[in-house]
Structure 1
Amino acid sequence: MEKLYPLKFKKVFKEKIWGGRSFSEKLNMILPTEKLYGESWEVSSHKNGMSVVENGRLEGKTLEELFLDYKGDFAGENIYTKYGKKFPLLIKYLDINDRLSVQVHPNDDYALRVEGESGKSESWYILEASEDARLIMGLKRGITPEIFAQKTKDKDFKNLFNVISVKKGDFISITPGLIHASLEGSVLICEVQQNSDTTYRIYDFDRLVDGKLRELHLDKAMEVIDYENIPRISSEKNRVNIKIDGGLKQEIIRDKYFNIDKLLLEEKFEDTDRASFMIYSILEGEGNLTCDGVSYPIKKGDTWYIPPKLEVAVEGKLEILKTYL
């Protein structure tokens, strides 16, 4: 097989009642209509939003096809051996301008048994946040399953949730069982998650979509909620800056499902991590990505999938969220 190269995928946009226009206004994306969009799926092999290559000789190929055809050359030998026939991650952007429904995700054991797919551990990197942005993250201390069941039955959601304020640069680890939602203000988020689309909706603020209330999943939610779950949150100012050639690196998370670094580059940077695929989410700036001597222009709003084993160099004043395993 011919050698792989850095891939860009067509963005899969999802209209949402809570969406907006920030993908166009802040991330250089061309939206297909004037409607409100809440999600842009950037790298996905999930059936609900399959990524399709838009650059080079592999144009038109799906991520799933490439993973199955190129195996370890596409993802890394150890990763292909571990995950077999299903690519492990899903990368997306969220544009939240209204209340995101109160929801929870299952873990692997529950999701595989009940839904036939992996669980959903995810993380949110806050790109932009209004001054009044507040999120629901977990339950208030002392809320037991019995209290929760009674209050949700009575549709009494007061004094139930843990509410936090967020700002640009915050990072939140949303592990399975953690109840979460947006409550006030607007946020623009880069989300890294397991390859799953399983979400259990607990409360949707009684909104109507096409004249109907959206379906809730209280029975399943009650089975997967972790009542003691407190989210891991890090802010920009509290992270350690590690000096690297060309700039700085922040090690944001090390997890069994994904690793995330933030790169703050001023000059040429050579990335020597070649055992795993890497996904570059370009948060700020513009420059060039060079792989095996071939250069590609990159800019804010781009997402690049870099197969393993390539010689990678980046030039430009850039902020990059780098995801890998």
Structure 2
Amino acid sequence: MPNMLKYPLKFEPILKEKIWGGQKLNALLNKDSNLPNIGESWEISDVDGDISIVSNGALKGKTLKELLESYKAELLGEKNYKIFGNKFPLLIKFIDAKEDLSIQLHPNDALAAKRHDSFGKTEMWYVMQADEKANLIVGFNQEMTLDKYKSHLEAKKLTEILNYEDVEEGDVFFIDGGRIHAIGAGVMLAEIQQTSDITYRVYDWDRVDAQGNQRDLHIDLALEALDFNMKDDFRVSYPKKENQTNKMLQCPYFISNYLEITDTVKKENTVDSFIIYMCVSGEAIIESEQFSEVIKKGETVLLPAGIKTYQITSKNARVLEVYV
């Protein structure tokens, strides 16, 4: 394959119908679908069975897997390719919760490798829109033990020991492996996570689908995965200075920054990684002498590691910048 990896890549959204999904991804983010309950739009995915397909430019129609196999370090960066090979390390989503998601958690790397031959699932949420009085569940509201947790779960009183956080646009949360959590009704958010689709549900509000069936729970699997520590490091504070890169979150799996752009911001890739931009408000132009690509609210682009200098121009954009 000749080297055509010299522009920002967009991908076809992979839309997921969910029992708790709604219509915001369609109405607010222009995800074209007739599905009644769109819960998730997978923007960049290397999950088996859901591999992203390029939607723009010379590589249109190629899968992310084909790009990895053809371009390797030029796509991922040298250090990333040595670690991940032909696996893309991040899964990028937009999520609309019309109803509460299940109360759930994800395994860490060690447990996910042992049980599922998979990455673990550490994730970050950026709240894009929240209805009045909307909230999230993150962690416990008191010191927790295995026995106390199990007794509340069995008595259907789990919600009494969970920590609820009111949310509004711009709030950021860090959800590491093992932390119990749930996105609440009325919240639309951008999610950055490790490439993993492993979720352990522990409570699903006793709801049933159109056929009267409850979704599977994973109560026993969750017990070994649960982190009972009372950590309050989940709400992320970050600066919001205009026209510069504001550091948001750094963890072993990804780094995320916030850009509020009202002019032109010159960028240089010095991190030996691909760079992802998620537009969470307004629209912007990402350009260089070789390319020009518009990114609008609800769109995501992937800049290959081989692209070193470019600029982002806007009058009104808010953008999340993500790399490994």
Q: TM-score, normalized by length of structure 2?
A: 0.94
Partner of 1:271: 267
Question: Deviation at 1:286?
Answer: 2.0
* Equivalent residues of 1:178, 1:231 under 8 A apart: no
Aligned length, in residue pairs: 318
Q: TM-score, normalized by length of structure 1?
A: 0.93
Alpha-carbon distance in structure 1 between the residues aligned to 2:159 and 2:195: 33
* Equivalent residues of 2:126, 2:190 under 8 A apart: yes
Partner of 2:170: 169
Partner of 1:70: 71
Partner of 2:255: 259
* Equivalent residues of 2:138, 2:234 under 8 A apart: no
Partner of 1:216: 217
1:152-184 deviation per Cα after TM superposition (whole angstroms, max 9, x unaligned) = 22333242211111111110000011000134x
Which of residues 12, 20, 23 in structure 2 aligns to 1:21? 23
Alpha-carbon distance in structure 1 between the residues aligned to 2:80 and 2:167: 34
| Matched position secondary structure for 1:189 | strand
Alpha-carbon distance in structure 1 between the residues aligned to 2:44 and 2:230: 28
List runs of 5+ in structure 2 lacking aligned partners: none
Alpha-carbon distance in structure 2 between the residues aligned to 1:207 and 1:68: 43
CA 1:116/1:249 → structure 2, altered by over 3 Å: closer, same or farther? same
Partner of 1:313: 311
Partner of 1:301: 298
Question: Deviation at 1:7?
Answer: 0.6
Question: Deviation at 1:60?
Answer: 1.4
Q: Which amino acid aligns with 2:277?
A: Y
Alpha-carbon distance in structure 1 between the residues aligned to 2:232 and 2:128: 18
- Aligned pairs for 1:7-46 (under 5 A) are 7-31=9-33, 33-46=34-47
* Equivalent residues of 1:137, 1:230 under 8 A apart: no
Alpha-carbon distance in structure 2 between the residues aligned to 1:286 and 1:199: 33
* Equivalent residues of 1:177, 1:229 under 8 A apart: no
Is 1:207 the equivalent of 2:207?
yes
CA 1:158/1:299 → structure 2, altered by over 3 Å: closer, same or farther? closer
Partner of 2:152: 151
RMSD: 1.6
Question: Deviation at 1:71?
Answer: 0.5
Q: Which amino acid aligns with 1:250?
A: N
* Equivalent residues of 2:135, 2:167 under 8 A apart: yes
| Matched position secondary structure for 1:68 | helix
Partner of 2:229: 228
Is 1:291 the equivalent of 2:292?
no
Q: Which amino acid aligns with 1:156?
A: K
| Matched position secondary structure for 1:321 | strand
Q: Which amino acid aligns with 2:12?
A: K
1:38-70 deviation per Cα after TM superposition (whole angstroms, max 9, x unaligned) = 000001111142100111221111111211211
Partner of 1:123: 124
Alpha-carbon distance in structure 2 between the residues aligned to 1:231 and 1:124: 16
Mean Cα displacement is larger for which, 154-163 or 1-10?
Answer: 154-163
* Equivalent residues of 2:18, 2:39 under 8 A apart: yes
